[in-house]
Structure formats: structure tokens, C-alpha cells
Structure 1
Amino acid sequence: MATLSTRAGAAPYSTLFLRVYDLWVIRLSNSYGWRCNRNYFVDLYRQNIGHRHLEVGPGSGWALANIDLPTDIELTLLDLNANSLAHTASRLNVAVRQIQHDVLVPLDEGVEKFDSVSINYVLHCLPGDWSTKGAALTNLAGMLKPEGVLFGSTVIGVDQRFTVLGTALMFAYNKIGAFGNRRDDLPGLRRLLSEIFEQVEVTMVGNVAIFVARGPRTNM
């Protein structure tokens, strides 16, 4: 069961907001708020997505819709918000399995493991510090095949120089609970990922940490 604070991060994704998500988040917020161009995400997906893929927190599905998914991909979407699941599935030309679920809660053991898992712009929406958010990464590591890869991104809240728009977004989103990243620091993210995975790469682009992690220790 999702907590109230977890639901706060998923709540903004109404059908109305999802209609403007690509413009507001992908284009404007990324470029002028977080100083991270959307093309970085296209490259991240193209380089790491596998045949059997789990997409956690798909948002509007923009990234998946912009990388020419192979028709034989086995794609699963996971989100607490049913609107985001339906909106993403509707814009893709491949078969999609939808799971409405809280990423802080372990998945059903009956779910077959994945070649790749993405968690893009999700961690900064989760409540708590890295010790709490680590549950999400641990759960997802457990859903990977031994040779699988987890990749994603998150807006870092500590020791950052934000633009005027970025400062306003950080204040507003954290105040309403849509973000929970005021204590999210870059060293803490690197340390957490390294505790869960054998190989970790983290790159800062503007205020965004883009990460790729391989070798889930849960499979050792």
C-alpha cells in the first residue's frame, strides 16, 4: 500500500497535466529549470534499453515514444498513477503490460526478471532521504537479470546552483510534496548505487544526475 507522502509525488499526473507534460517538463523545465537538454535522455535510453524492459514512472512516455522501440520488445510500465500508465501506453506502437504499484514496495515474486529497468525522474519525487529511497533501487535491482542494467536520472537538491526557474520549481514542488529532494546529495546517490550494484556511472548535467548501474548485488 502506498503512503500518503508517496501518493503526493504521483498525484500531479492528471489527464490534463499529461497533455502538457512534454512541453512543460521535457522542453521547458529540463532546459530552463534543470539545464539538462532532453536529448540526453534519448541517448540514455537508446544505449541501455533491453529486450525485456521495465519502465518505472513513465510520466507521459515521451522517452519511449522518441527512441523507435523495436516491435518485439517486451515492455512493462510501472507507476502508482493509472493516468500515467494509460497515457504512455496510448502513444506507443508496441504491446504494453501495465502494473499500478508503489516502487517502494517489493514487486510480486512471480514477475519475470528484466534485461533493463529505467527509473527516470522518479527518485526526486519519492519522500524521505536516500535511506528511504534506497528501497526503490533495491526492489528494482532484485527485478534485474544478473547481466541486467538499471538506468535513470534525478534532480539533485543539495549543493546546486539553480536557475531562477529551477529555484522556483524546487520550492513549489517540494512544498506540495510533488518533489522530496531537498536532502538528495550527489555523493549520497553514488554511495547508495554502489551499495546495490557492482558497476556504477553517474554523470551530472546541469542539476540532473544521470546514472547507469550494472551487476545487481542481489543476484550474487
Structure 2
Amino acid sequence: MDTSNEKGASIYTHLILKVYDTWVLNISNTYAWRCNTQDVLLNHFRRNMAAKHLDIGVGTGYYLANITDNTNNITLMDLNPNSLTSATKRIGPHRINHILQHDIFMPLPDSEKGQYDTVSMYYLLHCLRGNMHEKAQAIEHASQALTDGGTLHGATILGKDVKHNGFGRYLMKIYNKKGIFCNIADSSEDLKDALERYFDHVTIKQHGVVALFTATNKKK
């Protein structure tokens, strides 16, 4: 298991999770990353959500808690047990089919492969260690969870070839120094290249400094 990813995941204590929505989804998204949570991120999640779903990097469960139609076959995957507990409670245990504490850099259990119509990764990639070339391993493992016709979708904060405002530059500096983020070298082009290793059709749209992506037709 990648110990550096364990360090990043350990940031999400019960206390941090209590203020996560206010600080990250409201203040930071609006003023630092310039990507509205409800109008942009939640809508992107909703458009790409299917009946049997795997959410990797669950945060507080905000997205799934706000999407209730046809979503009662959900699997949650995260390295942090606090996040899994918080998200399960918020989404509703009756909607959760399976909970898996797992590092996405590690191969998935065979029982999870080829099982899901959709897989989501929201604000996960910019927290993973390494450059985008190395983070592609996480994308590969996520792709293996999908059915042949399934869709991978998500969002990540970019650090390269984007224009951060003063607030964003300050947060980027602090978060990367503390190991919360590892995204200084992450560009939209590198994200596209990583996704296209495993999918035939990739779409990336940028809002502020956030890249929203969808990937379909996974390669054999």
C-alpha cells in the first residue's frame, strides 16, 4: 500500500469532514477553483450516473446524497474509514450495497471487476501521489470495475497550464506542501492522455481550474 496516499487520506478526520462541505464545496470551489459545486459538479455527476455505481474517494457523500433517483445499488470505496462512515450515514445505509476500504493504486478484488455501469472519481486525482503518468494506474484500476459499456466520470483540480487566482495559488502552495494535494504538474492534456490509455472516447471540460471528465468505451 502506498504510504504517501495513506498520509493524504489521513487528513480526513471526523472534524475535517464536518467542515468539508462548507470549506471545499462552498468557499474553495466558488472563490479559489471557480467551479460551482451545485451548478457544475453536481450536474456533471447527475448526468453521468447509472443504476449500479461505484464511487471512489467518497468525501462526505455529498453528490450521492443529492442524487436519489435510481441509485440504490451503490458501492463506496475509499482508503479512509472516516470518510466511508460519514458518506454511508449521509447517503443512507439502505442505498449502499457494499463498502470497500481500498487504495485505488492497488489492484481491485476480482469480485469488483466488470461490475459497474458507472464509476466516479471526484476530487481524487489531485490528491494522489505522483504525476499524471503515475496516477494513470488509478484510472486503469477504475476502468477495470466498469462493464464494457460503462462510464468513468469525475473532476480534478489542475495545477499546470491553468490560471489560478491569488486565493487558489495560496491554497495550492499550502496543500501541496502539506501533502493534501499533489497536482502542481497536473495538466488537462496529461489527464486526457492518461484517460485515453484505457478508453476510446474521452471528454474533458474545464470550469475555472477544474477539469470535468467522462470516459467511455474502455479498451480491452
Band the TM-score falls in, shorter-chain normalisation: over 0.9
Question: C-alpha separation between the residues in 2 aligned to 1:126 and 1:58?
Answer: 14
Identity of aligned residues (%): 38
Q: 2:178 matched to which residue of 1?
A: 176
1:78 aligns with 2:77: yes
Q: 1:23 matched to which residue of 2?
A: 22
Q: 1:95 matched to which residue of 2?
A: 95
Question: C-alpha separation between the residues in 1 aligned to 2:33 and 2:65?
Answer: 22
Q: Which amino acid aligns with 2:90?
A: R
Q: 2:8 matched to which residue of 1?
A: 9
Correspondence list, 1:64-213, <5 A:
64-70=64-70, 73-93=72-92, 94-96=94-96, 97-111=98-112, 113-213=115-215
Question: C-alpha separation between the residues in 1 aligned to 2:41 and 2:63?
Answer: 7
1:36 aligns with 2:35: yes
Residue 115 of structure 1 aligns to a residue whose secondary structure is strand
1:55 aligns with 2:47: no
Question: C-alpha separation between the residues in 2 aligned to 1:68 and 1:108?
Answer: 27
Question: For the Cα contact (< 8 Å) 1:156–1:209, is it kept in 2?
Answer: yes
Q: How many Å apart are 1:73 and its aligned residue?
A: 2.2
Q: Which amino acid aligns with 1:98?
A: I
Q: TM-score, structure 1 length as denominator?
A: 0.95
Q: How many Å apart are 1:164 and its aligned residue?
A: 1.7
Q: How many Å apart are 1:123 and its aligned residue?
A: 0.3
Q: Which moved more, 1:144-153 or 1:94-103?
A: 94-103
Residue 22 of structure 1 aligns to a residue whose secondary structure is helix
Question: Which 4+ residue blocks in structure 1 deviate beyond 4 angstroms?
Answer: none
Structure 1 unpaired stretches of 5+: none
Q: How many Å apart are 1:129 and its aligned residue?
A: 0.8
Residue 137 of structure 1 aligns to a residue whose secondary structure is helix
Pick closer, same or farther for the CA change 1:44–1:187 going to 2, 3 Å: same
Question: C-alpha separation between the residues in 2 aligned to 1:194 and 1:115?
Answer: 19
Question: C-alpha separation between the residues in 2 aligned to 1:98 and 1:181?
Answer: 27
Q: How many Å apart are 1:45 and its aligned residue?
A: 1.6
RMSD: 1.1
Residue 191 of structure 1 aligns to a residue whose secondary structure is helix
Pick closer, same or farther for the CA change 1:20–1:69 going to 2, 3 Å: farther
Question: C-alpha separation between the residues in 1 aligned to 2:42 and 2:11?
Answer: 24
Q: TM-score, structure 2 length as denominator?
A: 0.95
Residue 182 of structure 1 aligns to a residue whose secondary structure is coil
Question: C-alpha separation between the residues in 1 aligned to 2:19 and 2:211?
Answer: 24
Q: Which amino acid aligns with 1:44?
A: H
Question: C-alpha separation between the residues in 1 aligned to 2:170 and 2:213?
Answer: 25
Pick closer, same or farther for the CA change 1:69–1:19 going to 2, 3 Å: farther
Per-residue deviation, residues 136-194 of structure 1 (Å, max 9, x unmatched)? 00001111000000000000100221122211110011001110001111111111111
